[in-house]
Chains A and B, each alone.
Chain A
């Protein structure tokens, strides 16, 4: 039930990739990731914190992310995530995969028109 709500905002199965991509720029904390995804997508994608933190846990368990508690600029404690080597590789795989699928969908839509 919760799952359904979470994924209405972000295209099913793309949240992991978006997180990896976002973190490839620099280590970030959870809110930063959410904001970044919203800004870059010009608010097309909204990220629900429950889904985001669950996804972060999952990616970390998979070995694609590492995390540490650090001080922020305004000297507060926050949990920062950064990409591991395996995470970089995974980002490459997912990006390629996504590009392949997106172009396939695009071709289909074009031929339809």
Chain B
């Protein structure tokens, strides 16, 4: 009941403030009247009685305030009053308000944007049911790296393990779809029958794959993504059961996945078909190639460690039922990792580093605004002294100050959300396309909650320092001095804050500097070929007429002839594998001289037209390049890379050595030449051991080959301008073939460092913001210091200090602040750069040159920030300041 009374009476007061105030005034007036009446009754004259009564009762205002401060409704109405007052103050100082709000908006907005990107990718569970039980299984090579799984091994593991509730192997698949529309190459996957079931998803229309689909020469069935179904098939509701021509073969659509299905293992996949690998196969079958990835759902209660142990146990104990081959003996065990960790492994270090960087920016923004508030607090000392003299409590003033800072933070935070929305859009646009879960990145409720939390914390923290500072001072004595000559306490606090700001900025800039140097180092890496002026495009050969090796060989040599005839093309070649394209093509190598050793040395295979070396600018260091005589039937020859020669033959002469690559059948390849190393996967991965053979001498003629063409130097425009004529030349052989992945070599080079550049851009932006904030921070403190010390400086000038002395005085103080910040920051950077060490390339995280140049940059900014107040101080007229005393 009393709670109800509290609520209703308080509410009534809140709604009818005026009436409640009048009541209170009436009651107080009545109180005084009664007291006076009593005195009059005792015989005192009326005027004296009133005065005596007033005296007895004391200050009416204080009494009224005391009563008014009781009750919850008064807490609220005081808060509203505080907010109104704070708003008025902020409006009266538009410059201060704008700077503070923009600083906070940048800090809160940037951190919310980064949080929006990092949270769904790294921390939120994957969009599947019981996603924490999803695992990825990969083979472990002899050097401990992750390798794709061979089907033969997968089959054995799947049959023997008890850790998995279900599992599926899968690989990329790029069928060319024909039909009424233009032929088009699709991105898809061939998957084991249990793939969708393992992920815990199912088609929204039609049915899932079943075991009977997934057998050799099983039915040609496909499941479409929602996007493909809408785009290519006009969202046809009767799609299930229809026929689609893929790679010239009829396929039946059996289902469509829901729009909500997010495929984290292959974000771009639009179409799925069963894997259809054999259950019985010989040692030279594709089932023994390491080219599958495996996803598994752990049984309830089985941990990743349990599963890993069990799988390794199986790997160590072969059984007669399951054959193994020398290059897939499972001798090094397997990795069983959570799917989430696997999907984010590549991006995790960069994301955490960026998260750290934006945290620093937010901190610096807070420090800066705190500093601004402190400076203003100094100006407002007289105001607060007055309010205290009039009876405001310290608690009341503190609440007022906190209200102001929280209000600033709230406005900054609201603007920050706008910044975050724009920032997230920019992030998504800038980010490398391979970034997992790109679609999940947006400013959602979680990000909003994050922004609100950050805003609140920022508001309280930023306001607490000035409030404490204010309360520490003895305000009573300030009233007379009117804050005129005050220095000391708050100046020290501000100096400390600026030092912190410089230190934080230095840490951030060192990170940015190290990343910048890494990128420079990467560009300095010899990639092994001359990327300028090169254009590449891939032909995915499909069609009944190209089933035989000889037909495919004839087609590609026709294409090459036509491409060479294009005006503007200086030279052209074909290759099965384009460097930096993101593709890998690895086969096991066996040396003739190590016939008994079960070497599992692997090599990257390039099936190339003889002119490839010349077109790419890859030097042939020993022996000869491939040539037109190395055709099918001629003695099998190969050019190997320097790394291959070194690893396989050591210091022996590689020329004339013989080896086998891939299926252990057919004639040996004889080494006829050694070529320079070429980076295949990326700049920061060492060049692989590579083997070059002609397409005609490989075990088969590849169905997909890439054209590489070099434009004539000084010819019409750059390599990209050759796209149309070359494409027409290719289509003049066969109009039905899909041409895909058209790119200049320079574009591939840039793409291979896209994620690095992305991280660098963010660090640079944050670093710049930090530099600006630190500079304004130093400026603010020194400038404030000069204002407060005008008299002292005037006295110094009057006593004979030259302008140079005074400039020295102010700049010296700036130097002390910056110097202390730099030393602190260098220490912080030594520790903090651990966060970026995984992103560095060819540069130590303690690289002295970077530290030095960044420190010099900050020192320069500090000097600049000191110069302005110093010059102002030097212009102070001693006569003026002394007279004004």
Contacts and interface: CB of A to CB of B under 8 A. Distances in A.
Given A1-B393, A49-B28, A54 B33 contact: no
Given A35-B38, A62-B5, A30 B66 contact: no
Interface stretch (B57-65, B713-721, B814-822): B57-65
A60 B384 CA distance: 35
Contacts of A54: 66-67, 70
Interface stretch (A14-22, A74-82, A91-99, A104-112): A74-82
| Main secondary structure on B side of the interface with A | helix
Interface in B348-389: none
Contacts of A51: 66
B66 A50 contact: yes
Contact of B34 (A6, A32, A63, A86): A32
Nearest to A77: B26
A60 to B, nearest CB: 7
Contacts of B30: 29-31, 76-79
A61 B26 contact: no
Contact of B35 (A31, A53, A86): A31
A30 B31 contact: yes
A60 B67 CA distance: 13
27 contacts: A1-B393, A2-B66, A2-B393, A6-B66, A29-B27, A31-B30, A31-B34, A31-B35, A48-B58, A49-B58, A49-B63, A50-B62, A50-B64, A50-B66, A53-B63, A53-B66, A54-B66, A57-B71, A60-B9, A61-B5, A76-B30, A77-B26, A78-B27, A78-B30, A79-B23, A79-B26, A86-B2
Contact of B67 (A31, A50, A74, A77): A50
Contacts of A78: 27, 30, 34
Contacts of B5: 60-63
A6 B70 CA distance: 14
Given A51-B66, A76-B33, A63 B1 contact: yes
Interface string B466-488: 00000000000000000000000
Interface in B9-49: 9-10, 23-24, 26-28, 30-31, 33-35, 37-38
Nearest to A29: B30
A76 B36 CA distance: 14
Contact of A57 (B1, B33, B58, B70): B70
Interface of B: 1-2, 5-6, 9-10, 23-24, 26-28, 30-31, 33-35, 37-38, 57-58, 62-67, 70-71, 393
A37 to B, nearest CB: 14
Nearest to B35: A31
B9 A58 contact: no
| Main secondary structure on A side of the interface with B | helix
A6 B63 CA distance: 10
Interface string A21-60: 0000000011110110000000000001111011001101
A63 B2 contact: yes
A50 B63 contact: yes
B228 to A, nearest CB: 68
Contacts of A50: 58, 62-67
Contacts of B57: 49
Given A50-B63, A50-B67, A53-B24, A61 B9 contact: yes
A3 B67 CA distance: 11
Q: Give the top 8 A-B pairs by smallest Cβ distance, nearest first.
A: A50-B63, A50-B66, A31-B34, A63-B2, A53-B67, A31-B31, A54-B70, A62-B2
Nearest to A53: B67
Given A50-B67, A61-B71, A79-B27, 4 more contacts: A50-B64, A51-B66, A53-B28, A60-B9
A98 to B, nearest CB: 21
A60 B23 CA distance: 15
Contacts of B65: 50
A48 B63 contact: yes
A86 B24 CA distance: 25
Contacts of B38: 35
A32 B37 CA distance: 12
A2 B64 CA distance: 12
A1 B66 CA distance: 11
A1 to B, nearest CB: 6
A54 B74 CA distance: 12
Contacts of B1: 63, 86
Contacts of B34: 29, 31-32, 35, 78
Contacts of B66: 2, 6, 50-51, 53-54
- Which of A30, A31, A51, A60 is most buried by chain B, counting CB atoms within 10 A of its CB? A31
A2 B706 CA distance: 88
Contacts of B28: 49, 53
Contacts of B24: 53
Nearest to A55: B70
Contacts of A63: 1-2, 5
B443 to A, nearest CB: 44
Contacts of A53: 24, 27-28, 63, 66-67
B274 to A, nearest CB: 75
B14 to A, nearest CB: 14
A76 B35 CA distance: 14
A2 B62 contact: yes
Nearest to B34: A31
Contacts of B62: 2, 50
Contact of A30 (B9, B10, B27, B393): B27
A85 to B, nearest CB: 11
Contacts of B33: 76
Nearest to B37: A74
Nearest to B59: A50
Nearest to B2: A63
Nearest to B57: A49
A54 B67 CA distance: 5
A53 B62 CA distance: 12
